[in-house]
Amino acid sequence: MSIVNVRDIVENKKQTLKRKIVELRDEGIIPKLAVILANDNDASRIYVGRKRKLCHEMGIDEVEYVFDEKCTTEELLYTIEKLNNDNDIDGILVQLPMFSNIDEQKVLDAVAPEKDVDGFSSINVGRLYKGSKDIVPCTPKGIVTILKELEPDLAGKNAVVVGRSQIVGKPMAALLLAEDMTVTICHSKTKDLVSHTKMADVLVVATGIPHLIKKDMVKENAIVIDVGMTKVKDKLVGDVDTENVKDIAKYVTPVPGGVGLTTVFSLMENVVNLAIARRKK
């Protein structure tokens, strides 16, 4: 078994993307991301900080719109309309979650599909389920990046996704189906979870329940992708009991230092791809 070195995977891919960005900038194309933050969630602010830092490192311009708890859905819609019409903006990211008084889906759907860098608008979600890979949500996209480094041929293998969120679980299942895998989605109402997870050649866990997945729930030589991250006694832990699961799995991604790294990198890829696609029209 091996703990996956996600950092090396990302670093190798960053070099290729950096070269592409340099070429674009030489052509006068400067990829630019707009981030909308309308929550007081500490984790969200940390994520936005990481995205800001990586944008700067990669050569992507970035601008942030930060709102306090007094903001309204209408204010956010007005801002998004301006960004949709701004030709300098290639991607718009709405950081989730948002303040409880905000109509999240209405805000997400207001983002122009060609600038929807996270792929969360209803139009882009529909396109994903029809098989389009033009705009793919960043976390599932990053997970596929990891999987293809570990196992280039995924076709025909059994995949189990634990969690059915709109951000990870559902789009993850769609992407694995696109890789010709046989996919099962499990969730809080699933009966006999172990019977499903034990069948998985690839097990993706995104529940936010610390150490939900134990050693006896994992198939021998499976690839286990841990998406969860929860603070327990000042320590970040995942959904997988890694210390014990590593004795039976072929690969396990770490927490922290795992999927989160590919999520932020995938965002950079999406911004660049949107910049290129918009200028081809």
Is residue 64 a contact partner of residue 91, using CB atoms and an 8 Å limit?
no
In sequence order, which residues have a C-beta less than 8 Å from that of residue 19 and are 6 or more positions away? Answer: none
| Statement: residue 234 has pLDDT above 90 | no
Is residue 211 a contact partner of residue 240, using CB atoms and an 8 Å limit?
yes
Joined tokens for residue 179: 């890789």
For residues 278 and 143, which has the higher predicted lDDT (pLDDT)?
143
Q: Locate tokens 């309204």: which residue?
A: 72
pLDDT digits (tens, 9 = 90+) for 153-212: 999 999 999 999 999 999 999 999 999 999 999 999 999 999 999 999 999 999 999 999
Mean of pLDDT values over 224-250: 93
> What are the catalytic residues?
51, 95, 118
Instruction: Give the CATH H-level superfamily of domain 138-259.
Output: NAD(P)-binding Rossmann-like Domain (3.40.50.720)
| Cis peptide preceding 31, ω within 30 of 0 | no
Q: In the chain, what are the domain boundaries?
A: 28-119, 138-259
| Statement: residue 262 has pLDDT above 90 | yes
Q: Locate tokens 């396109």: which residue?
A: 127
Whether 28-119 shares its CATH topology with 138-259 is answered yes
Joined tokens for residue 183: 């996919």
**If DSSP states are collapsed to H, E and C, what string results for the chain?**
CEECCHHHHHHHHHHHHHHHHHHHHHCCCCCEEEEEECCCCHHHHHHHHHHHHHHHHHCCEEEEEECCCCCCHHHHHHHHHHHHCCCCCCEEEECCCCCCCCCHHHHHHHCCHHHECCCCCHHHHHHHHCCCCCCCCHHHHHHHHHHHHHCCCCCCCEEEEECCCCCCHHHHHHHHHHCCCEEEEECCCCCCHHHHHCCCCEEEECCCCCCCECHHHCCCCCEEEECCCEEECCEEECCECHHHHCCCCCEECCCCCCHHHHHHHHHHHHHHHHHHHHHHC
Is residue 154 a contact partner of residue 180, using CB atoms and an 8 Å limit?
yes
Using N-to-C axis directions, what is the helix angle for 6-26 and 42-58, rounded to 10°?
A: 50
Q: Name which CATH class applies to 28-119.
A: alpha beta
Q: Locate tokens 């014990």: which residue?
A: 244
pLDDT digits (tens, 9 = 90+) for 45-97: 888 898 999 999 999 999 999 999 999 999 999 999 999 999 999 999 999 99
| Statement: residue 222 has pLDDT above 80 | yes
